[in-house]
Chain A
Amino acid sequence: DARVTQTPRHKVTEMGQEVTMRCQPILGHNTVFWYRQTMMQGLELLAYFRNRAPLDDSGMPKDRFSAEMPDATLATLKIQPSEPRDSAVYFCASGLYPGTSVNTGELFFGEGSRLTVL
């Protein structure tokens, strides 16, 4: 059963600490997205990769956030230093572009990483 895997599922840290979240996209998918979800803002796109190349990271605070894809099976989102306002659920999603199915628009989401910064 192919699925997107995210770690950690939960993370509690103190302000100023570095946080790294990891994502394993579905094998064969060539697009990877990082979203952040909060009650106030809903789902916000942070970064978007296609074939491991970053295409859009305009939604990401550049001074403290960074996103990378070291290889096709791993995407990382790093926050350094973390702040209380970064507390949210971070979702990774993967998809196939352009794809061959009629559902090429479908993104498959991981279970999310719930981050709490104290």
Chain B
Amino acid sequence: EDKVVQSPLSLVVHEGDTVTLNCSYEVTNFRSLLWYKQEKKAPTFLFMLTSSGIEKKSGRLSSILDKKELFSILNITATQTGDSAVYLCAQKAAGNKLTFGGGTRVLVKP
């Protein structure tokens, strides 16, 4: 059974800090790994990673995948209060089926 584990469960930082979120996975039909941000409502898409070692960046967020060690990290630099959210990692199998991890709750204090 596919499994996605995220760590830490939660963290509290201050504005300007850098955070690193971890995602490890066990898959049988791995296609790609996705990161989502969930504030109060629906998860919104951040990144999709398919190849090892290639960093994807979007503003202060970046992510990278290691297919050999079966993990991914999401970095947020110079955090702002608007970054407070639950960050979800999901492994995509054949046919677009996503298996989500439990999420990491990030709270950024002013």
Contacts and interface: CB of A to CB of B under 8 A. Distances in A.
Given A42-B102, A42-B103, A110-B42, A103 B95 contact: no
B42 A42 contact: no
B69 to A, nearest CB: 21
A83 interface: no
Give chain B's interface secondary structure class.
strand
Contacts of A95: 96
Interface in A45-72: 45, 48, 50, 55-56
A105 B92 contact: yes
Contacts, number: 56
A34 interface: no
Given A105-B34, A105-B48, A105-B92, A111 B42 contact: yes
A45 B97 contact: yes
B42 A91 contact: yes
Interface residues on A, range: 20 to 34
A36 B92 CA distance: 17
Interface in B5-47: 31-32, 34, 41-45
Interface residues on B, range: 20 to 34
Contacts of B43: 43, 91, 109
A107 interface: yes
Contacts of A111: 41-42
Nearest to A30: B96
B42 A112 contact: yes
Interface in A5-27: none
B98 interface: yes
B80 interface: no
20 contacts: A42-B88, A42-B102, A43-B88, A45-B99, A50-B95, A56-B97, A95-B96, A97-B95, A102-B48, A104-B96, A105-B34, A105-B48, A106-B45, A106-B48, A109-B44, A110-B42, A111-B41, A111-B42, A112-B41, A112-B42
Interface of B: 31-32, 34, 41-45, 48, 88, 92, 95-103
Interface of A: 4, 31, 33, 35, 42-43, 45, 48, 50, 55-56, 91, 95, 97, 102-112
